[in-house]
Amino acid sequence: MAAVSDRPFQPSPVLGRPGAVASPAELPDHGTAWHYGDPFGEQRAAAMSVAVVDRSTRAVIAVTGEERLTWLHTISSQHIASLPDGRSAENLSLDVNGRVEDHLVLTDLDGTTWIDTEASRGPALLSFLTKMVFWSKAEPRDGGELAVLSLIGPQAPSVLRAVGAPVPEMPYDAAPLPSDTAAPLPGGPGFVRRMPWPSRTDSFDVLVPRDRLEEWWATFVVAGAREAGSWAYEALRVETVRPRLGLDTDERTIPHEVGWIGGVTEFGAVHLDKGCYRGQETVARVHNLGKPPRRLVLLHLDGSADGRPETGDDVTAEGRTVGRVGTVVDHFELGPIALALIKRAVPVDTALTAGPCAASIDPDSYTPDTAIQAGRAAVDRLRGR
């Protein structure tokens, strides 16, 4: 099987469906459908009924071997050494300075840990994992025989039942039984896992055989799912302030800035009480003594402006740069919105400009940062403050 880095780019076969409009080349989902002619209707279906989204650009890696979980535990930020069979988690790979290099979702099932990440990061992540094996009984390889589809919406469980697929009850490691979080597809290979995003409820990833991707897509559509493009998925993700690697992060991003702190059951990607891993010193220092320099917020954009900001544009306040624009999308209810990393000290009611648009921070996405860390409090006590 070709390595992730050697696999040539091929548009998804689902792009051949009637009405499919390809995602623009500059977007990370290029090769899949951006929408099927009615992006707002597709968003509404994902929010209120059920939609299926082709996310087959995701790079998939498989890790086998009896020490796969304890090995992954030592080189990443999440506590997964004892992750039960059928459970999932989010995880990060950090550099030595604690900056985010990779964000991944993993599921351990029947002796294999399946990892999926951004297409652009697949080759580098597989290379890193391969180099880090050393003496451990773990074997990372390209897992491209599986591809990711997502079913989103309150009627998604009904669609899964209609096609004979399992319906996990809870996301990640939050359920009392392993079968309640991720379970194999009937006849295999592949599996269904419940996710806490892009919507807050009723989101499922279905990893299907890549050579049967179009067949599974059609099966879901016949069962009642509306065809939807990546635009719908991204709109719901931005609404719920879920960051995406490479869009809402840059080369300086640390986990605290984008809400990736937390254990498996907290739907985070960084466990604060686990052992040593690359970048841990920065994570611990910020958590105990400092505060992150930036925070991720939801911006409402002026829809009457001539144009939209682009990912990477500056966010300014009175001409002074205070942040960076991330994902920009038009939402079926909220209008034009974006995620942005802004300086922590910027007040929530600050009038902002993002590219050509006036912008304002959604107050529900802004958590006042007034808590005093335990380490800082201890230092202050020693100094008599």
User: How confident is the model over 215-242, as pLDDT tens digits?
Assistant: 999 999 999 999 999 999 999 999 999 9
CA distances from 328 to 173, 211, 215, 237, 311 (A): 31, 32, 32, 11, 7
380 pLDDT band, cuts 50/70/90, is very low
Alpha-carbon span 142 to 218, nearest angstrom: 26
Give the burial class of 123: count Cβ atoms within 10 A of its Cβ; 0-12 exposed, 13-18 middle, 19 or more buried.
middle
* Of 307, 306, 289, 299, the residue nearest 323 (C-alpha): 299
Alpha-carbon span 38 to 20, nearest angstrom: 10
Query: Looking at residue 8, what is its pLDDT?
Result: 47
**CA of residue 381 relative to chain centroid, distance:** 40
User: How confident is the model over 251-294, as pLDDT tens digits?
Assistant: 999 999 999 999 999 999 999 998 789 999 999 999 888 899 99
- Looking at every residue in the chain, the average pLDDT score rounds to 92
Is pLDDT of 201 > 90? no
Is pLDDT of 371 > 90? no
Alpha-carbon span 28 to 359, nearest angstrom: 24
Relative orientation angle of helices 230-239 and 39-48, to the nearest 10 degrees? 60
User: How confident is the model over 323-369, as pLDDT tens digits?
Assistant: 999 999 999 999 999 999 999 999 999 999 999 999 999 999 998 77
At 159 the three-state DSSP class reads helix
Residue with tokens 């051949």: 16
Handedness of CA 160, 162, 166, 168 (dihedral sign): positive
Of the chain, the percentage scoring pLDDT greater than 90 comes to: 84
Mean local confidence (pLDDT), 23-46: 97
